[in-house]
Every structure is written in structure tokens, then in C-alpha cells.
Amino acid sequence: MSRSALAPARPLAAAEDVILRIENLHTHFRVLGGIVKAVDGVTLTIPRGKTVGLVGESGCGKSITSLSIMRLLEKNGRIVGGHIEFRGKDLLALSDAEMQEIRGNDIAMIFQEPMTALNPVFTVGNQVAEAIQLHQRLDRKEAWEKAVEQLKLVGISEPARRAKDYPHQLSGGMRQRVMIAMALSCSPELLIADEPTTALDVTIQAQILELMHEMQERTGTAILLITHDLGVIAEMADEVAVMYAGRIVEQASTYDVYAAPKHPYTQGLLASIPKLGQKQDRLHVIKGNVPNPLSVPPGCSFHPRCPHRFEPCDKAVPSLSEVAPHHLAACYLYPHVHPEAEMEVEELPEELAKPHDVAVARAEKHISAVAPAEDAEVDTDA
């Protein structure tokens, strides 16, 4: 992979080069029990042709961010504040029909579970052709031929034959290739990949990552890569944004984030993963648990688990500011980081709440009602 990962920090993109700009995005959900602030003030820019990694654990809001961009939120969720600009157009102001023009065409998305993302009753060729037909006004025959060509481009052998297969006849890796084919068939400018390789075996993951990189070089598509796997990010992303409890806590080029992480969460995370070839006596541990989305700690949401917390940390949310050249972090340990003003957002009405109860929400977010108790361990210095 010819990427200058060894080069020192590059400036974050200049305005003309930016494909997607998210500013202070707030997405809230109404559940039986309150409001979940899934995305709580996210600012991110994606430069043309580059790969930006959005990394975080479950419940941090990374997937919701991507769904917000695509405006594919469920009924009980709404974007209550902020802007999303795509090539200068305000996405939040578009009508449904206009948004539909953009989806699949200018911004495409691939998901974690290709089996559930593909329709089981249609052949894969059909599904790729459908995407093409929708956006490129070709007739069925031409769309089919183009679909077969796409399948070939993603490395599926015997594409003409394979196009007539149904999703269940293909392996996981193949299905993900089909998804990529579908996503890239209309040459989108931005590809959002939400955990694209998490469900795949390591050797297949390697193939898919290689494919994604190839396709990016060929088509110049920018990629927003969402994952919890720090290894995948290190391989694929040019820039990384680390999310925690709905906010971005650190953002810089990949090299900078891994070589010199600034935020204690990032530091803890990088220190706690086992590294091949470097067996440790005891792994570093981040105390405690991810917070309950219905009761996020005040101030910096990471402070209860932070080994460096001090006086201002529980008072107000720290701003995401430049703490080193082209390196942003939201932590009071650094100068330039100041308390962020609370944004006035619209309140979601109670009626929106589905009987999607608190227990289910908890289960899905991997957080508990029961106090973290003795989860903690004395942590070693990062």
C-alpha cells in the first residue's frame, strides 16, 4: 500500500478539497426512559479521495453518525442540531426525493452484515443492476451488463455466472464484495463503510481491505471507515477520529494518533490491546464501563474512568481543539481546550418513543444498570 504513513503530520484538508463537512452534529433518540444523545456535537471533515477512520467502541455513536449523514435514522431519532454539507450542499435541507438521488449515487454505504444487507430473494446481479438502473437511467440489459462488469472489478471470478446466484449461495467474503460492487457502481464520491470486515475471517478481511484500497485508487472515492478495530484503521486510514459517548475526543493523522495519542481514552485504548509479538505480563486496563446513554456523566464523559481527571473535568464539556500541530483533542490537560458552550437543541416529543425499552437499549449498547463495582484495576502508565 503506497501511503506515506511514515511521513509526519499533514495539514488537515483545505476547504476546496473537502467532500463532506459535518459541523456540530447532534442526533437524539427518544426511548421509553428519556432521550439518548447518540451523537452529541460531532465535527468532522472528509477530504476528497482520502480515508478517514472513525473509531470507537459500541455505543459511541459512530454508526449513528453515518446514518445521520445518509439521513437513514429510525422514526424515534432525529438530527436536532448542526450541519452536514456535501460538496457545498446542505444535506439536512434536502427533501426526501433529493436525498434519494444522493444515496447510492454520490454517497454510498456498505454495512457489517452483508447477509442482512442483501435481499435474499433477488439474485446478486439483480441487486447490483438495480442500483445502476436507479441512478444511471440505463435499460435492464445495459444495467445487467454493467453489473457483471462491476462484479468482475471487485474480483469475483466467473462474474456472469455468479451474478445469477442468490446471496445465500455466496460466502461472507463474496457477499461483501457484492456490496462493494453495488456501492461503487455509480462511482460515488464518498463511500461510508460501517464495520465492513468485522464479520469476516482474518484472511478474507485482508482480501477485502486490499480490494477497498484498490478501488479507492482506481476511482478516487473518499472513504469514511467506521470500525472498532484499531489495527484496520492503522492500515487503511489517512486520518483518524476517536469517538466516545457521542463525541469526538481526538482527531489527527493516523501516524500522529498512534505514535503520540493525546487523549487519555485513546492512550488507554491503545495500551490495552494485545499486540502480536509483544506479550505483556498484565494488560493495561481502562477502569469501569462505557456510560449508560441515558445518563452520560457531566462534563467530559470519560472523566469517571480517566486516570488523569482533575478539577474542571466534571464541570463542562471540553472543546475539541488543536493541542499539537494538526492534532485535535478534547481534554482539559492541554492548554487551548476550553469549556464548550451548551447548544440549544430541539426536544424530541414523547410520542416518538417506541416500546423499545430501556433494558433492550441497554443490552444493545452493552451498558448496565448495575454499578460497575469491582471492574476496576490499577492501571499502568500508558
Partner 1 sequence: MAQEVVTTENAVGQSGQVAQAAEIIQGYDELEHAPELGFWKLAGIRFLHHRVATVSLGVLAFIVLAAIVGPILEGNQYKVLDYQSPYHPPVHLQLAPPFLAGDWHHPLGTDEVGRDQLARLVRGARVSLTVGLMAMIGYLLIGGTFGALAGFFGGWVDQLLMRVTDVIIASPFLLVVIAVTAAFGGVSLFKLIIILSILGWFEIARLMRSQFLSLRESEYVMAARALGASNFRIITRHILPNALTPIIVSATLGVSGIILLEAALGFLGYSIPPPEPSWGNMLSNFEQYMLGGYLWLVLFPAFALVTTALCINLIGDGIRDALDPRQR
Partner 2 sequence: MPEALEVLDQPVGEVNPDQPLLEVRDLVKHFPIKGGLLQRPVAWVKAVDGVSLSIKPGETLGLIGESGSGKSTVARCVLRLYEPTSGDILLEGKSVLRARGAELHHMRRDMQIIFQDPYGSLNPRMSVGEIVAEGLHVHGIGTPKEREDEVVRLLETVGLRGQHRGRFPHEFSGGQRQRIGIARALALRPKLIIADEPVSALDVSIQSQILNLLSDLQSEFNLTYLFVAHNMAVVEQVSDRIAVMYLGKLVETADAATLYEQPKHPYTQALISVIPVPDPTKRKEKIVLQGDIPSPINPPSGCHFRTRCPIATEYCAQVEPPLREITPGQWAACHYADTSPGFTRSDRAPDRSGEAVGLRQESA
Footprint on this chain of partner 1 (rule: CB under 8 A): 32, 287-288, 292, 295, 304-305, 354-360, 368-378
123 binds, among partner 1, partner 2, none (CB under 5 to 8 A by kind): none
Alpha carbons within 13 A on the beta-carbon side of 85: 16
* Beta pairing class for 222-227 and 34-47: unpaired
State the amino acid at position 37 in one-letter form.
K
> How does DSSP classify residue 49?
T
Closest separation between CB of residue 26 and partner 1, Å?
25
Q: How far apart are CA 94 and CA 355, in angstroms?
A: 30
202 binds, among partner 1, partner 2, none (CB under 5 to 8 A by kind): partner 2
Closest separation between CB of residue 353 and partner 1, Å?
9
Q: What is the CA radius of gyration of the chain?
A: 21
Closest separation between CB of residue 61 and partner 1, Å?
21
Which stretches of the chain bind partner 2, using CB under 8 A? 1-2, 5-6, 57-58, 157, 171-174, 201-207, 209-210, 228-235, 254-255, 258-259, 268-270, 272-277, 279-280, 282-286, 289-290, 359, 362-363, 366-375, 377
Nearer Cβ to partner 1 (119/295): 295
212 binds, among partner 2, partner 1, none (CB under 5 to 8 A by kind): none
Locate 352 and state its grid cell: 416518538
Closest separation between CB of residue 374 and partner 1, Å?
5
Task: Please list the residues that pair with 321 across neighbouring strands.
Answer: 329
Nearer Cβ to partner 1 (21/305): 305
Nearer Cβ to partner 2 (90/171): 171
**Residue 187, exposed/middle/buried by CB under 10 A (0-12, 13-18, 19+)?**
middle
Closest separation between CB of residue 257 and partner 1, Å?
27
254 binds, among partner 1, partner 2, none (CB under 5 to 8 A by kind): partner 2
355 binds, among partner 2, partner 1, none (CB under 5 to 8 A by kind): partner 1
Q: How far apart are CA 363 and CA 356, in angstroms?
A: 11
**CB atoms near residue 10 (< 10 Å):** 17
Q: How far apart are CA 319 and CA 288, in angstroms?
A: 24
**Quick one: how far is CA 254 from the chain centroid?**
15
Closest separation between CB of residue 79 and partner 2, Å?
26
Nearer Cβ to partner 2 (133/176): 176
**CB atoms near residue 303 (< 10 Å):** 20
- DSSP for 199-249? TS-HHHHHHHHHHHHHHHHHH--EEEEEES-HHHHHHH-SEEEEEETTEEE
Nearer Cβ to partner 1 (193/271): 271
Nearer Cβ to partner 2 (43/176): 176
Closest separation between CB of residue 37 and partner 2, Å?
19
341 binds, among partner 1, partner 2, none (CB under 5 to 8 A by kind): none
Q: How far apart are CA 175 and CA 178, in angstroms?
A: 5
> C-alpha distances in angstroms, 36 versus 24, 39, 40, 275, 362?
17, 9, 9, 34, 11
